[in-house]
Structure 1
Amino acid sequence: MGRKKHHEEAEEGWITSYADLMTNLFAFFLVLFIFATNSKEETNMSVVLQEIRTGFLERVDKKAAKVLKDELKKAQTPSMPQVDSKKAEIAKKVEKVIIEQQLKNYVHIIIEEKKIRIVFTDPVIFKTGKAELNPQAKKILKEVASILKPIPNPIFVEGHTDNVPIHNKEYDSNWELSFSRAYSIIKYLQKVENIPPDRLSGTGYGEYKPLAGNDTNINRAKNRRIEINVIFFDEKKSEETSGKTNNQATKAETSHTSKPGH
């Protein structure tokens, strides 16, 4: 009798555990069913969460885009004095000539604080070891001169070579060759293009101001160049200096005429 009662209690315990398991499984599948049916409330909540996430990302993207746009705007249209706007205008015109004549690989424009450097590589202007202008050089120099002639800025021409020694009937050194090349440019700008000689000057640096090390053929080619520098000066300082000079001259003249016996 005791054993039978114990057996019945064991069976009831097993059934209870099984019922609890089935209840838990039913509750689990019920939850899955609710999510699967995408009830209106759940759908609305999902949409809200998605909109919050999307709106946040869009605001971040817009902020980043605005910062980038502002930075580019500052870089493209910086607050410059008038002299710099002139510089940009000249550089743009020269660049147009370079593109039209398909010389982008051989002529470069470098804008600096006090000058525009128009850099011509050796093959465009001169033959090796020579200082006579090539026909192509005259063509592009004519276009560049038409841009530079109307402006009053001084023009300084530099001749540069690589470090390969030169010894021929015309030149004893690279220094002499670089001087002759600079002078050929100056002479052309004055004699042919009628740029006033008081605006023109130049020198030859030989191999002593390289752009790159003279250790490879490519680097040596970079160093063989002519630079036409359009010089810009501080107009305000120039006016102040001119005014001081005039005042000093006036004072000196007044002092001189006011002395007795003169």
Structure 2
Amino acid sequence: MRRNHESRHDVAQDNVHRWLISYADYMTLLFALFVVLYAMAIIHEEPFETMTDSIGRVFQSDQEQTKNRGQGEDILPVNSSRSETRLYGDGILEEAGPELTDGKNELSNIEKSEVGTNLESLEEELHTALYELVESGYAELEIDGDWLEIELSSGLLFPSGSASATNNAEAILSVITPIIKDVTNYLRVRGYTDNQPINTEVFESNWELSVARAVAILRLLEEQEIVPARMAIEGYGQYSPKVDNNSTQGLLQNRRVVIAISKYGLERENVIDTPSISVKDIELIKQEVDSAQQGNRIRIVELENGGIRITTRDEDNQDN
């Protein structure tokens, strides 16, 4: 009997300290809980939301709620992104994302184009060349998307109600053309007017006037050896005002011509060299023809290099 009593006493002594194991487990879990709560308190909101959204998409990519939902609310918001747009990239979704492009090509006559000279560098050169006009307010330079716009007041280029370019127009363009002549960027010459109605024998409306002024500037650029294949004209009339036409200053600002330089350029192999003969050379030839008509018979001789020579000498009898 004594032996049995001692055995029961030993078993009882062994069970006395088992509560320490449960208490230690409880304290460990409680410590881990406070660590997690502290970490959640100091974490930045945006990275935390990104992390929770990512974890949610990993486990529940096609459902708004958890698969094994209990009686309470979820700790992490699953698929709770504010946008319904799917994100593409090196992630779980294997779908191809949207194709990225370098801007829409809006030039209707370009089938194959390449990026031309940098617009920022052209703007710096043009600003230096047109510094006085820019400072006085008669010219403006601005990069608008894929275009570098050179805006010139019509008062500098044309008389009122006319599309006949003045000497000032030729002088201003002679400053611009050396900078844009050797690049391949496309050009658009745009004409604008104010909203004052016009109805003359030459121009029935502001449409015709804006187009005629754009054509006049394009002709001057062509005479100064800008490649014609790079250029086109646009006429906006009174329907694209820069400011309100309620004041004299507003009317003046809306009467303008814009030379727009595109970021895209003509491919080098498609650039056609302009003729080497200039307008002054043509005038000299005309003078020689007029003077020669008063004397001997005029003869035109084709040279080996492709040029021509106008003479009144008889090549067949020059040795006599």
Instruction: With the length of structure 2 as denominator, give the TM-score of the two structures.
Output: 0.45
* Structure-2 residue corresponding to 1:166: 198
State the one-letter code of the partner of 2:156: V
The 8 Å contact of residues 98 and 104 in structure 1, kept in 2 or not, is answered as: no
Q: Deviations over 1:210-255 (max 9, x none)?
A: 00111111111111000000011399xx9xxxxxxxxxxxxxxxxx
Instruction: Give the corresponding residue for 1:110.
Output: 142
Counterpart mapping for 1:74-89 below 5 A:
86-89=118-121
Correspondence for 1:132 among 164, 167, 174: 164
Whether the 8 Å contact between 1:97 and 1:140 is mirrored in structure 2 is no
Whole-Å Cα distance in 1 between the matches of residues 205 and 256 of structure 2?
16
Residue identity matched to 1:163? N
Distance in structure 2 (CA, Å) of the matches to 1:213 and 1:100:
26
Structure 1 window deviating more from structure 2 (102-111 vs 174-183): it is 102-111
Matched AA of 2:128? K
Alignment of 1:184 onto 2:225: no
Tell me the distance in 1 between the aligned counterparts of 2:251 and 2:132: 27
Give CA-to-partner distance per residue, 1:149-204, whole Å, 9 cap, x none: 110000001000000011222111111000000000111111x1111111010121
Aligned to 2:130: 98
CA RMSD of superposed structures (Å): 2.2
Greater relative contact order structure (CA < 8 Å, 6+ sep):
1
Matched letter for residue 230 of structure 1: I
Residue of structure 2 aligned with 1:227, choices 238, 258, 266: 258
SS at match of 2:185: coil
Aligned to 1:120: 152
Measure, in 1, the Cα distance between the counterparts of 2:185 and 2:134.
27
Q: Aligned pair in 2 of structure 1 residues 101, 206: CA closer, same or farther (>3 Å)?
A: closer
Q: State percent identity of aligned pairs.
A: 29
1:224 corresponds to which letter in structure 2?
R
Structure 1: runs of 5+ lacking an equivalent: 1-82, 239-262
Q: Is residue 208 of structure 2 the alignment partner of residue 149 of structure 1?
A: no
Q: Which runs of 5+ in 2 are unaligned?
A: 1-114, 268-320
User: What is the SS of the residue equivalent to 2:199?
Assistant: coil
102 and 91 in structure 1: CA distance in 2 versus 1, 3 angstrom threshold: closer
The alignment covers a number of residue pairs equal to 153
